[in-house]
Amino acid sequence: MQADIVILAAGQGSRMKSKLPKVLHPLAGRALVQHVIDQANTIEGAKMHVVVGHGAEQVESALANQGAAFYLQAEQLGTGHAVAQAVPGLDAQGVTLILYGDVPLTPADLMQSMVQIAKRGHLALLTVELADPTGYGRIERNAVNDVIGIVEHKDANESQLAITEVNTGILALPTALMMEWLPKLSSNNAQGEYYLTDLIAMAAEAGIAINTLNPNSEFEVQGVNNRRQLAELERWYQRQQAGLLMDAGVTLADPARIDVRGKITTGTDCSFDINLILEGEVEIGSNVSIGPNCVIKNAQIGDGVEILANSHIEGAIIAAKATVGPYARLRPGTQLAESTKVGNFVEIKKARVGTGSKVNHLSYIGDAELGSDVNVGAGTITCNYDGVNKSLTEIGDGAFIGSNSSLVAPVKVGAKATVGAGSTITREVADEELAVARAKQRNIDAWVRPTKKV
272: left (phi over 0), alpha (psi -120 to 50) or beta: beta
**Cα 416 to Cα 92: distance, rounded to the nearest angstrom:** 74
The 10 Å Cβ neighbour count of residue 431 is 13
3-state secondary structure of 113: helix
3-state secondary structure of 77: coil
* Alpha helices, DSSP H, located in 48-143: 56-62, 79-86, 108-119
Name the catalytic one among 54, 122, 153, 361.
Answer: 361
Helix, strand, coil percent content, the chain, rounded in steps of 5: 20, 35, 45
Q: Burial level of 234, CB count in 10 A (0-12/13-18/19+)?
A: middle
**Which residues face 390 on adjacent strands?**
385
**Cα 104 to Cα 27: distance, rounded to the nearest angstrom:** 8
Q: Are 202 and 147 in contact (CB under 8 A)?
A: no
Q: What is the DSSP letter of 441?
A: P
Strand boundaries in 103-175, DSSP class E: 123-129, 138-141, 147-151, 165-174
Strand boundaries in 386-436, DSSP class E: 393-395, 400-401, 406-408, 411-413, 418-419, 424-425, 434-435
Number of residues that this document lists for the chain: 454
- Of 398, 393, 349, nearest to 372 (Cα)? 398
Active site residue 49: no
- Of 256, 293, 259, nearest to 273 (Cα)? 293
**Cα 378 to Cα 21: distance, rounded to the nearest angstrom:** 48
**Cα 200 to Cα 146: distance, rounded to the nearest angstrom:** 11
> What is the set of active-site residues?
361
